[in-house]
Amino acid sequence: MSVTVARQRQSTHAFWRRAAAGPSPGKSILAVLLCTAGMLIFPYAVSEYQVLVAISFLTFAIVTVSQVLVWGFGGILSFAQAAFFALGAYGYAVIAGNLDETTGPVIALVAAPLVVMVFAGFLGFFIFYGRMGAFLLGIVTLSVSLMLGAFLNQTGDASYHIGKVQLGGYNGINAIPPLLVEGTPASTQVLYFLTAAVLLAGVAGVALFRFHRVGVGIRAIAENPVRAELFGYNVRAYRLSIFMAGAALAAAGGEFYAIWGSYTSPSLVTMQAVTLPVVVAAVAGRDRPIAAMLAALVYSAISVNLASSGASYALIILGVGLVVVMLVAPGGVGGWVAALVNRLVIRIGTRSAESPHTAASQDDVVELGSTPGSGA
Amino acid sequence: MRRVRSSMSTAVGITTALLLAACGNGSTDAASSSTINIGQLEDQSGNLSLVGLQKYHAAQLAVDHLNAAGGLLGKKINLVAPDTQSDNTKMQQLARELVIKDKVPVIFGAQTSAEREAIRPIIDQYKQLYFYTNQYEGGVCDSNTFTTGAVPEQQVATLIPYLMQHFGKRVYVIAADYNFGHLTSDWVKAITQASGGSIVGQEFVPLTQNEFSSSIARIKAAQPDILIPLLVGNDQSSFFPQWASSGIKNLPMGSTVIVAQGYEHLRFQPPAAANIYVPTNFIKELGDYVPSSKTFVDAFMKKFPNDPYIDEEAESEYDAIMMWAEAVKKAGTTDQAKVKEILAGGISYNSPSGTVTIDPKTHAAVRDIYLAHTTETQAIEFPVMWKAVQPNWLSAVAGCDLTTKPDQTQYTPTAQMPAKVTQELTAIPVVKAGS
Amino acid sequence: MSAVISVAFQACQIFGIFLIVSLGLSIIYGVLGVMNLAHGELMAIGAYMVAMAVNAGLPLVAGIVLATVLVGLMGLVLDRAIMRRLYRRPTDAIVVTFGISLVVTQAMLLIFGSAQNSLISTPGGEVTVAGASIPTYRLVVTLVGVLAAYGLYALFQRTRLGTNIRAVSSDQDTAGCFGVDTRATFTVAFVLGSALAGLAGALVAPTVSLVPTLGQGFVVYAFVIVVVAGERVFQGTVLASAVYAVLNAVISYQFGSFYGLLALLGVTLVLIRFLPGGFSSLLRRPRVVAAL
């Protein structure tokens, strides 16, 4: 065998090793582009009703991606993402309801996540500057979310209003002003593409964030806060920032939900609604934004189907499925699937070049490029 | 565990999700040329299922009866009734599905006023024919909606004067904290004051609350002559056993929903549900007094022998379906616009509990109201009844007139449109049939 | 005066149940580090079992004891089958307990229907002091709560098992080095926690409408109490329960139950900001090291 051929085979090996080893900006971008393609094709493959329903799936996916940002990267087990989602929906309803119908919705679209972000900052101040353990934070966020639900349920009396908009208590807020496009309410298609755009931007942002300087810092803090602090990172400030960013993203999901359904109610912060983003992110892999997005879409589709077919055994199957998945695939399904496909990729890739180094290079791959994972 | 990412798994994932979404949502059969699908949205599980299941069963009974009589327009009727799980969001989602995807010619259902208001915008957007079949706080003036349940003119305006005449002037209200509770309380307050009484206390309780010790303490401190519990749902019914063990013995209670909706007199030991007065369009015990009720009760128990009760809302649901069928026969089609016209023309129907007529101005039902009373042993008796009570606060005071002015609003009592009695109400004694 | 006693009675009633529910959750959290999202469902199972036992003819007390034991056994089964694989994975355990709660709620719905009636009535009359009254049963429940707490205290402080539990919850690895069977301790903790949840459910059964979700209202408060209790599983929980019960009773009496809830939230936020160690840090006795 000539030297040139051997070198070519080695560089082919190296390519497949790199392809299989560790996340990279390139792979994230590729994945997001594939998802974008899928979402672009989707409306033309299904009925308008299914596109309409799919919009609500997209909003849930946005919340789940925010969960990954805050939990998977930030190390904060936050049960508050659903609460921020609800606040985004309520925020949009209140702001748009008080302004005129053409500019109001657009202003509300921008303002609602900002308002929620400020609220998250206020909440985060108490939580993070008290130097609680990251895990205990989770329970505090759970309690706060549930109490938000209790509060919203109590606002039934007519005296609970912000400007012109009644909070409505258990009934929620109805007839939320729609987004107007050239004078008429945005069509299903327009709303779909808008929501999908926000989702894809969010997921791309979160996925690429891991490679950014700030993202590396956040992950360092998540892994070991004391060590990161010794390196000079302002742990509390970083945590607060990521908490606020996650809140803004979740709120964005919420406001599109409000536009989609013209309706928001306290049922967005029940115990089940609040734990769902955590559970879906856990199952998908809590630091995998793209996997989490897909898991959220799949879950929503299943859930809607189960609701209309009325199978009461369905939730039992879901619960059992959850338990089984967590026992079998501790790092989340995303990691399990990725590892499987990875081995496949290496096997196919390296088989194409028969080299005496094949066996050895497979061992090499195990060491190369792997990060000391924090696992579960 | 090594953390790797592969675009392959992403691709697989997208395809799966797309396939699922595309193949999904196809659970109901489309209406074929030999069946008519009718839609029902009720809570068959969750906090509100105690009542929701009764309404669901009543709908099934109605469909059975219609099919046994040859169906409608030569076609069999099929009930499409997904479970809304006592969740307002699911209610919306399933309403959308029935209206947009299944395109049913009529929808019956919703229990709480919150559920109704969650779907009414969708109903109005698509001009869907809709029957709301629960007792409620009144005020809905909607071209697309017809209501067969009792309203405050029929329940509060009859109850309060009767109670005040017999028991005293001090009234305490404890109500569920949402629009139904608030608005019905407004009615209670207005009628009480108009009858010369006073509200000595008023409290609103969230639907998920099942601990009433502080509420009970407050009620006792206020020393009312009459207690008006307007409590809804499984959790809130915990009030009654707690009241029984620490409340005032034999304080008369009045309500528009207790006993007649959630059959507390069968679920709790005396004296939890003793001495309660409820004006209602129907309850199961009416079967001992009115022959047409007996027929209905017998048929219901034959089809559902294990059901614990048949409440006022189940009968309203049955009435609504039967009336819609009548209208369809008259119209000769299920086309929603034509059927609405017939219904709005003032259709009448001999229900199990008496004649029910749709009032053209308000789309609400004129019906007979029976006052039910639970004795010390929680047996049911009917001291008095009122014939053909008009639901006309809406037309007389709020100005609702759907014959001339299409509308989609719910009117609530305000200073300009105060809640008040707009008709003469004469209580007549109830005579047991065959006695 | 009557108002003060009335509020005291309110606080009493809430304290008893808060205490039992929170202690169960606290033990599981303190030892395993797991936030048991299925705790409310275990309560509901306890309540249903009592109802079934009493309807089968057993006296109420026997029913309560039976329910407690059975739910404890259920905890044992859950531990053996599922939880023991998650001992060092607290976040996965959250997901799993959520799955379990989903399964249990749905199973109960399917087996029992949506609302069982409270077919057992609350025994006993009421105790009246200066115009304010409390049902005797509720007073008994509080006493049971206090007794259970005392029993647990004795267990923790006086027995080897209790010492093991405290050791493992304080520092798992070091305890293991000292020969404590950490796995067995985990199991015991989970069983104990489950049994307490069952007891709480059994005790409230005569007073509430039996629905599969009856535990959720109590469990929300329990989570918050566990958070502010701090690292001292026992003393912290008792103190936190007492403070919250009194606070809730006072504010609810004055302003209504909603503001009672809001007050708890406000206090929680303030506490975690300014007293991150929770109530436990108030209990810490300063160690004085003699200078040699």
Residues of B whose CB is below 8 A from C206:
241
Residues of A whose CB is below 8 A from B114:
170-172, 265
pLDDT of residue A152: 87
The verdict on a CB contact (< 8 Å) between A143 and C35 is no
> How many structural domains are present in chain A?
1
| Structure-token match 């009435």, residue found | B319
**B206 near A CB under 8 A:** yes
pLDDT of residue C20: 92
Beta bridge partners of B356: B349
> Which of B256, B252, B272 lies closest to B264, judged by CA?
B272
Q: How far is B47 from chain C (nearest CA, A)?
A: 7
Residues of B whose CB is below 8 A from A55:
none
CB B38 within 8 A of CB B77: yes
**C251 near A CB under 8 A:** no
Please report whether residue A283 resides in a domain. no
Q: How far is C127 from chain A (nearest CA, A)?
A: 32
CB A69 within 8 A of CB A253: no
Interface size between B and C, measured as CB pairs under 8 A? 100
The ipTM, to two decimals, is: 0.77
Residues of B whose CB is below 8 A from A334:
9
pLDDT mean over A33-61 = 91
Helix H or strand E segment including A214: helix A213-223
pLDDT of residue A134: 62
Please report whether residue A52 resides in a domain. yes
pLDDT mean over A361-375 = 40
Q: Which of A45, A157, A263 sits opposite B118 (nearest CB)?
A: A263
The verdict on a CB contact (< 8 Å) between A171 and B118 is yes
CB A75 within 8 A of CB A221: yes
pLDDT of residue A133: 66
Question: Which pLDDT tens digit goes with each residue over C65-110?
Answer: 999 999 999 999 999 988 888 877 777 787 788 889 888 988 887 7
> Which of A32, A29, A24, A31 lies closest to A199, judged by CA?
A32
Full set of structural domains in chain B with CATH = 153-280 (3.40.50.2300)
Dihedral over Cα of B189, B195, B201, B206: its sign: negative
The larger pLDDT score, comparing residue B377 to residue B22, is at B377
Q: Which domain holds residue A53?
A: 46-269
The verdict on a CB contact (< 8 Å) between B20 and A298 is yes
Q: Does the structure show a pLDDT above 50 at B75?
A: yes
Please report whether residue A29 resides in a domain. no
pLDDT of residue A132: 66
pTM beyond 0.95: the answer is: no
CB B32 within 8 A of CB A367: no
> Which of C269, C241, C276, C198 lies closest to C26, judged by CA?
C241
Please report whether residue A345 resides in a domain. no
Strands C126-129 and C132-135 come out as antiparallel
pLDDT of residue B4: 37
Q: Does the structure show a pLDDT above 80 at C280?
A: no
Secondary-structure breakdown of chain A: helix, strand, coil percentages, each rounded to the nearest 5: 75, 5, 25
Chain centroid to CA B376: 27
The verdict on a CB contact (< 8 Å) between C276 and A278 is no
Encoding tokens for residue B240?
């009654």
Q: How far is C61 from chain A (nearest CA, A)?
A: 32
Q: How far is C290 from chain B (nearest CA, A)?
A: 48
Encoding tokens for residue C134?
């409390």
Would you list the DSSP string of B332-369?
Answer: TS--HHHHHHHHHTT-EEEETTEEEEE-TTT-PEEEEE
Residue B368's identity, in one-letter code, is: D
**C211 near B CB under 8 A:** yes
Q: Which residues of B184-193 are buried (b: 16+ CB within 10 A; e: fewer)?
A: bbbbbbbbbb
Residues of A whose CB is below 8 A from B27:
305, 308-309
Q: Does the structure show a pLDDT above 60 at C133?
A: yes
pLDDT of residue B66: 94
For residue A226, what are the CA distances in angstroms to A128, A134, A230? Answer: 14, 12, 6
**C109 near A CB under 8 A:** yes
Sequence-distant (≥ 6) Cβ neighbours of residue A359 within 8 angstroms: none
Encoding tokens for residue A62?
């946005």
What is the C-alpha separation between A198 and A207, in angstroms, rounded?
14
What is the C-alpha separation between A236 and A133, in angstroms, rounded?
12
Q: Which of A130, A143, A282 sits opposite C95 (nearest CB)?
A: A282
What is the C-alpha separation between A345 and B10, in angstroms, rounded?
14
From the number of C-beta atoms within 10 Å of its C-beta (0-12, 13-18, 19+), residue C163 rates as middle
Q: Does the structure show a pLDDT above 50 at B121?
A: yes
Please report whether residue A245 resides in a domain. yes
Please report whether residue A19 resides in a domain. no
pLDDT of residue B380: 93
Which chains does B contact via 3+ CB–CB distances below 8 A? A, C
pLDDT of residue A276: 85
Please report whether residue A175 resides in a domain. yes
Q: How far is C218 from chain B (nearest CA, A)?
A: 10
Q: Which of residues 14 through 43 in chain B touch A, CB cutoff 8 A?
A: 14-18, 20-22, 24-25, 27-28
Encoding tokens for residue A245?
């960013």
Q: Give the pLDDT band of residue B358 (cuts 50, 70, 90).
A: very high
Mutation for testing the B interface, residue in A300, A341, A368 having most B CBs under 10 Å: A341
The verdict on a CB contact (< 8 Å) between C98 and A275 is yes
Helix H or strand E segment including B76: strand B76-80
Please report whether residue A67 resides in a domain. yes
The verdict on a CB contact (< 8 Å) between A331 and B17 is no
Question: Which pLDDT tens digit goes with each residue over C195-242?
Answer: 999 999 999 888 777 888 888 878 878 888 887 887 777 888 888 899
Q: How far is A46 from chain B (nearest CA, A)?
A: 6
pLDDT mean over B320-326 = 94
Question: Which pLDDT tens digit goes with each residue over B218-247?
Answer: 898 899 999 999 998 878 888 888 888 777
For B185, name the nearest residue in chain A, comparing CA atoms only.
Answer: A157
Encoding tokens for residue A208?
């690429």
Residues of A whose CB is below 8 A from B44:
310
Q: Does the structure show a pLDDT above 50 at B135?
A: yes
